[in-house]
């Protein structure tokens, strides 16, 4: 029996053929992985299935009947739920209102029973182990909490087919395991689940079948995962075997710190933060969701007032009140939330990649040509392998992973002295993740100081030179990274749990 079948679907956009004769079959009681590099067509396929885009060719059936959904709401009513990679919450509404958004009343003039929607929302929040008041405005939540609310919203629809596009991208390993328990329960209840992830360890943990896309075509159509290993899947995704990183520890730099926080406190809640990043050093900042890592980065950029201590740049105390002032001091920030903070989605790739260098490249009369900007940012975009038909392409039309690459490229092009990178691998495929890690090391080797924030312990151990551990908006300890995953991860978790590991 088939819950959802995609048959020979094709879709073109201006300048690019996103899907070419793609097929996939999801069965009840199965978790089906949909894999491929950034730009392979995964998100486009999901948008076609849920009515956001219309296929040029091909057919979609559910339970043997042809379906043509006009929009996601119609798809949800037809039993097809989806959690997109980019969050789609109404931030000024409460958690409960977002979860129950399409069921607030029988018609547009109905009054809202807030007690009832709070009670129903609490049911799904409890399943996600998310201990928050359902009447909390979404704008007050962390990125990870927003992601869990988005998942709770989809679960509450009790769909026969549930599609999840990078659902764990902003979740800690513990939060991901909670989600997996729920998905296994839904699977056992007969739900067909489509699961998109760049984390192959998750795919082999939770999925039983797989479809692989490469350059918009099927490299594999609905194969059993038990017949494949990791290298088989990677080979299909990128056309070659995976590069396994065996990065050796880097030599310690002894130069004076470029950036320091001395007993720093912020209005966001940080207290007594002291850390230093030297030119050529990669300092990791690790902690569980709610530890205050991203909030620290934003406070340093002037988005939360400094309430105590010092910010020292190149040996001199400074005051930073805005991102523009931070850039003047040679500090750049790659946000974990590219959609809301990192990019202008209606502008071109060139405009987004070049925005940090406009002032520097302009003539004394303020003139600046696209050719001048392209000469500066083009090599960076090429190195990151940004897939776009042209630099004039609207960046909102790129895949999420390619958008992330552009958000990194704009700071590299600006030649910042300190680059704060917040969750760099969210939505990034295997090959690009490896290249991005190489690029971070190349930046460090060229003298850039890097502050790396990531919830991926494997990434932290592979990339950082030292790891500062945060919990409760404070630094609990610093771990020297010798690339021994077991030792380093044990030491990190020891600080988080309030004890120094032996």
pLDDT in tens, 35-75: 987 778 898 999 999 999 999 999 999 999 999 999 988 99
Cα–Cα dist 95/132, whole Å: 9
Residue 502: predicted pLDDT:
37
Cα–Cα dist 490/242, whole Å: 27
Residue 192: predicted pLDDT:
95
Share of the chain above pLDDT 70, in %: 92
Cα–Cα dist 391/393, whole Å: 5
Domain boundaries, the chain: 4-238
Closest CA to 247 of 426, 485, 491: 485
Q: Collapsing DSSP states into helix, strand and coil, what is residue 330?
A: coil
Work out whether the CA dihedral 212, 339, 201, 435 comes out positive or negative.
positive
Cα–Cα dist 309/261, whole Å: 7
Cα–Cα dist 267/308, whole Å: 9
Ranges in the chain, pLDDT < 70: 85-86, 105-110, 240-247, 289, 337-342, 361, 363-364, 427-429, 497-502
- Paired tokens of 240: 């070659």
Report the CATH fold assignment for 4-238: Rossmann fold (3.40.50)
Q: Collapsing DSSP states into helix, strand and coil, what is residue 188?
A: helix
Cα–Cα dist 452/468, whole Å: 10
Residue 500: predicted pLDDT:
44
Q: E-assigned strands of 329-464? A: 331-334, 418-422, 449-453
Q: Quick check: 195 and 31 in contact, CB under 8 A?
A: yes
pTM here? 0.60
Residue 206: predicted pLDDT:
95
Cα–Cα dist 418/259, whole Å: 7
Residue 501: predicted pLDDT:
40
- Paired tokens of 343: 């990019």
Residue 112: predicted pLDDT:
78
Per-residue model confidence as pLDDT tens digits over 92-132: 899 999 998 877 766 566 677 889 899 989 998 988 778 89
Q: Collapsing DSSP states into helix, strand and coil, what is residue 70?
A: coil
Cα–Cα dist 68/60, whole Å: 7
Which residues are CB-contacts of 176 (< 8 A; sequence separation ≥ 6)?
168, 202
- Residue 310 has phi, psi (to 5 degrees) of -135, 145
- Paired tokens of 308: 């105590």
């Amino acid at each position: 029996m088939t819950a959802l079948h995609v048959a020979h679907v094709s879709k073109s956009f201006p300048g690019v053929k996103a899907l070419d004769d793609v097929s996939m079959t999801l069965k009840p009681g199965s978790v089906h992985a949909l894999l491929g590099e950034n730009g392979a067509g995964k998100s486009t396929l999901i948008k076609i299935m849920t009515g956001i885009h219309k296929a040029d060719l091909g057919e979609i059936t559910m339970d043997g009947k042809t379906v043509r959904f006009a929009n996601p709401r119609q798809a949800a009513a037809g039993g097809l739920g989806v959690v997109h990679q980019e969050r789609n919450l109404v931030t000024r509404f409460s958690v409960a209102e977002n979860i129950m958004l399409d069921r607030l009343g029988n018609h547009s003039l109905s009054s809202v029973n807030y007690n009832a929607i709070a009670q129903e929302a609490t049911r799904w929040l409890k399943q996600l182990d998310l201990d928050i008041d359902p009447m909390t405005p979404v704008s007050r939540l962390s990125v990870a909490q927003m992601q869990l609310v988005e998942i709770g919203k989809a679960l509450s629809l009790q769909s026969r087919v549930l599609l999840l596009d990078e659902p764990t991208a902003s979740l800690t390993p513990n939060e991901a395991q909670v989600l997996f328990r729920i998905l296994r329960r839904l699977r056992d209840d007969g739900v067909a689940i489509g699961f998109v992830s760049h984390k192959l360890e998750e795919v082999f943990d939770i999925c039983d079948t797989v479809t692989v896309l490469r350059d918009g075509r099927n490299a594999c159509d609905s194969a059993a995962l038990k017949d494949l290993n990791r290298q088989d899947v990677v080979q299909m995704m990128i056309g070659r075997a995976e590069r396994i990183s065996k990065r050796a520890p880097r030599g310690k730099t002894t130069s004076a710190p470029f950036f320091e926080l001395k007993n720093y406190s912020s209005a966001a809640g940080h207290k007594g933060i002291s850390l230093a990043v030297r030119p050529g050093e990669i300092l990791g900042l690790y902690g569980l969701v709610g530890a205050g890592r991203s909030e620290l980065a934003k406070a340093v950029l002037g988005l939360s007032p400094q309430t105590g201590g010092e910010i020292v740049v190149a040996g001199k105390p400074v005051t930073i009140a805005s991102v523009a002032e931070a850039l003047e001091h040679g500090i750049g920030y790659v946000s974990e939330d590219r959609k809301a903070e990192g990019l202008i989605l209606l502008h071109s790739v060139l405009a987004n990649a070049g925005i940090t260098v406009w002032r520097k490249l302009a003539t004394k009369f303020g003139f600046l040509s696209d050719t001048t900007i392209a000469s500066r940012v083009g090599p960076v975009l090429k190195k990151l392998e940004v897939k776009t038909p042209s630099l004039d392409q609207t960046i909102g039309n790129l895949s999420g992973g390619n958008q992330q690459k552009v958000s990194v490229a704009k700071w590299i092009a600006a030649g910042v002295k300190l680059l704060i990178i917040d969750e760099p691998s969210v939505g990034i495929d295997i090959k690009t993740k490896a290249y991005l890690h190489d690029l971070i090391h190349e930046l460090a080797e060229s003298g850039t100081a890097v502050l790396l924030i990531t919830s991926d312990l494997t990434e932290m151990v592979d990339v950082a030179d030292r790891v500062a551990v945060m919990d409760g908006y404070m630094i609990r300890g610093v771990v020297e990274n010798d690339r021994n995953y077991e030792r380093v991860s044990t030491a990190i978790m020891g600080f988080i749990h309030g004890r120094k590991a032996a």
